[in-house]
Chain A
């Protein structure tokens, strides 16, 4: 078997997608309240899970290369765009805090029964079409890329990949500790039960000004 297999068939897609969706759902990433909780610092799961996944996968790719099981630069590395990468990322961050999802998590939200995820997906189809409609006017700016294509941090910083991975692990560890401290102080992270209660809403909440939370025993 030669790696990577470059198998882009139906079964390859279904398998990768099924595992991806199953894990994202288990992580709680089908819930827009949990996802957006990151930006209110009440739930650091997005930071923790994303960073852990990046480090695990980056370390695995590095290990496979070192062992000679994977040729160098055999997998796709996205190119840095002069404007598009940062501006696009910012638009997605802004749309995420308003809409509650990013593209992948909206598919998981939809699979978990969320109607708002379906509406979000319709919005994405509209947004992609708007981009296509103005593409000719912004083509030069949109496609401008930094050379060399597929630039990596080890290339840019001129350090071995494993050092970059170790540095990322250090940042992740510090951020993880800080996040756990902050999210607990703010009443997070969101659990499954709490999230499900906000599907279709605790409507009666505003009718009960003396509801739970207003009178609590001292800790």
Chain B
């Protein structure tokens, strides 16, 4: 028998901790937390590997490929996120390898939806010039109008989408 996992943190504790980590990040780096910037750089790097002529000529990826696109603060940060998430999951018994899906769909369908969702999120994050972390969370913490407009779009579309996506999760 496996020991049961430890419960998730209470929301007030988790939110306060997240706010303090965000504040610390502002103080040491001058900007907030992010995530999508890394995947943009990973995409530029991958394109440079698979289609070097196209990628270096591309007006969006080209500038990244002038140097090593992955050599950036946001890459170290994402490495840190993965290490921190792994440490937390292992220490609490919440690490579980596999596909997480709703009770009404199988693992294969879940992966197909995950891929499609990822494509939309990747495109959307370039359009917004950031994601839930960079604009929604960090932007809103600076009281940027952009942060709250982003969150309005995010929550609005999420609720709209949930009317069609109930079968995937519930």
Contacts and interface: CB of A to CB of B under 8 A. Distances in A.
Interface in B118-146: 118-146
Interface of A: 3-28, 30-34, 36-40, 42, 44-45, 48-58, 60-61, 64, 70, 74-81, 83-117, 119-133, 135-136, 139, 142, 146, 150-154, 156, 161, 164-165, 191-193, 195-196, 198-202, 205
Given A7-B29, A33-B169, A100-B114, A25 B97 contact: no
Nearest to A92: B124
Contacts, number: 568
> Dominant SS at the B interface?
helix
Chain B, interface size: which category? Answer: 35 or more
Given A39-B158, A91-B121, A131-B60, 11 more contacts: A17-B80, A18-B81, A52-B12, A56-B18, A103-B35, A103-B39, A108-B81, A121-B39, A125-B42, A150-B144, A191-B7
Interface of B: 4-9, 11-12, 14-36, 38-40, 42-44, 46-47, 58-61, 73-89, 92, 94-103, 106-107, 110-111, 113-162, 165-166, 168-170
Contacts of A202: 103
A123 B125 CA distance: 12
Contact of A128 (B5, B125, B169): B125
Given A94-B120, A125-B122, A130-B123, A40 B145 contact: no
A96 B131 CA distance: 11
> For A20, A60, A96, which residue has the most chain B Cβ atoms within 10 angstroms?
A20
B94 to A, nearest CB: 5
B99 A120 contact: no
Contacts of A75: 26, 30-32, 142
Nearest to B140: A54
A42 B40 CA distance: 32
B87 A22 contact: yes
B104 to A, nearest CB: 9
B129 A88 contact: yes
